């Protein structure tokens, strides 16, 4: 596979691992149909590539963070959105919001049901939508300074990216709903809750994670895919959940 570079991401191959690096403003990627369709086309190609046994998703530290989230929402929300008694958030650009939510949901479901193992290393601030997306992957790592921001609360919008679904499945209803109203969750706290598998040092983290992945992907592809397929049975209701999560 040749290296693929766009304004929003880079995809490269190392041995039998496809590495997807997200960069810059990923919210613009979600609301841009041509760019997002190209990403799905590439993922489909990797799905049938017999050399590739796993996906590794990584991000530049500011990519999934509050600044990009705020910049995107400020463009599409009305200056006066919700009051304390309103249950509706008003958007000036409903089409962009609709594309963002639906592309995000498509990506969440796609990764959750991908036929190959999906790993992620999270860096920096991770806001609500990409917190949910991260939980759709199979094995998760984070750098020490990584934290999860439940920033949707301050905008009065619903928690997207399937986050409530995954947190309830991972932690149970009571703990999940408690966390949904936290301001931030540190990588240390996420590790304690088993929301991530390991905290990796910033230095040479990619080499360390790839070594871990190669210990798993040494097994036959038939074992890898069948194991993921059987474990994913517990997520059968994800499609129904995402159908109800519309802008």
Query: What's the confidence (pLDDT) of residue 28?
Result: 87
Percent of the chain with pLDDT over 90: 74
Name the strands in the sheet holding 198-199, side by side, starting at the edge strand that comes first in the sequence: 4-5, 9-14, 17-22, 54-59, 117-122, 139-142, 198-199
Nearest residue to 121 (alpha-carbon basis) of 18, 2, 229, 21: 21
Nearest residue to 143 (alpha-carbon basis) of 191, 100, 107, 87: 191
Nearest residue to 124 (alpha-carbon basis) of 213, 58, 73: 58
Query: Please, which pLDDT band fits residue 202 given cuts at 50, 70 and 90?
Result: confident
Query: Please, which pLDDT band fits residue 160 given cuts at 50, 70 and 90?
Result: very high
Chain length of the chain? 247
Query: Please, which pLDDT band fits residue 85 given cuts at 50, 70 and 90?
Result: very low
Q: What is the mean pLDDT of residues 114-124?
A: 97
Q: Which residues contact 3 (CB under 8 A, 6 or more apart)?
A: 10, 11, 12, 13
Q: What is the mean pLDDT of residues 145-152?
A: 96
Nearest residue to 122 (alpha-carbon basis) of 65, 175, 47, 168: 65
Q: For residue 60, which phi and psi values (nearest 5 degrees)? A: -70, 145
- ∠ CA 27-144-126, nearest 5°, is 15
Distance CA 214, CA 17 (A): 8
> What is the per-residue pLDDT across 56-83, written as a single tens digit (0 to 9) for each?
999 999 899 999 999 989 888 865 544 4
Are 95 and 57 in contact by the 8 Å Cβ rule? The answer is: no
Q: Is the predicted pLDDT of residue 87 greater than 60, yes or no?
A: no
CA distances from 12 to 3, 9, 201, 209, 244 (A): 5, 10, 22, 15, 35
How does DSSP classify residue 81?
-
Are 4 and 22 in contact by the 8 Å Cβ rule? The answer is: no
Name the strands in the sheet holding 184-186, side by side, starting at the edge strand that comes first in the sequence: 125-127, 147-149, 184-186
Most confident of 23-32, 94-103, 221-230: 221-230
**Residue 94 CB-density burial (10 A; 0-12 exposed, 13-18 middle, 19+ buried):** exposed
**Residue 37 CB-density burial (10 A; 0-12 exposed, 13-18 middle, 19+ buried):** exposed
Distance CA 60, CA 167 (A): 24
Query: What's the confidence (pLDDT) of residue 88?
Result: 52
Domains of the chain from N-terminus onward? 4-244 (3.90.226.10)
Are 194 and 139 in contact by the 8 Å Cβ rule? The answer is: no
Average pLDDT of the residues of the chain: 91
Q: What is the mean pLDDT of residues 215-226?
A: 94
């Amino acid at each position: 596979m040749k290296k693929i570079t766009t304004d929003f991401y880079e995809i490269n191959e190392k041995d039998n691992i496809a590495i997807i690096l997200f960069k810059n403003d990923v919210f613009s990627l979600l609301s841009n149909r041509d760019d997002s369709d190209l990403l799905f086309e590439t993922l489909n190609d990797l799905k049938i590539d017999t050399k590739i046994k796993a996906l590794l998703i990584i991000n530049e530290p500011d990519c999934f963070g509050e600044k990009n989230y705020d910049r995107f929402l400020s463009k599409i929300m009305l200056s006066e959105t919700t009051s304390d008694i309103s249950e509706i958030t008003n958007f000036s650009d409903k089409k962009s919001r609709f594309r963002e939510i639906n592309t995000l949901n498509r990506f969440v479901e796609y990764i959750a049901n991908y036929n190959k193992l999906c790993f992620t290393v999270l860096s920096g601030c991770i806001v609500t939508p990409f917190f949910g997306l991260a939980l759709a992957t199979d094995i998760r790592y984070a750098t020490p300074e990584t934290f999860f921001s439940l920033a949707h609360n301050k905008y009065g919008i619903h928690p997207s990216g399937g986050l409530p679904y995954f947190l309830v499945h991972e932690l149970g209803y009571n703990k999940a709903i408690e966390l949904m109203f936290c301001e931030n969750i540190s990588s240390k706290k996420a590790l304690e809750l088993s929301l991530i598998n390991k905290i990796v040092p910033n230095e040479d983290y990619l080499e360390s994670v790839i070594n871990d992945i190669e210990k798993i992907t040494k097994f036959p592809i038939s074992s890898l895919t069948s194991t993921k397929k059987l474990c994913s049975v517990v997520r059968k209701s994800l499609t129904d959940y995402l159908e109800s999560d519309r802008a």
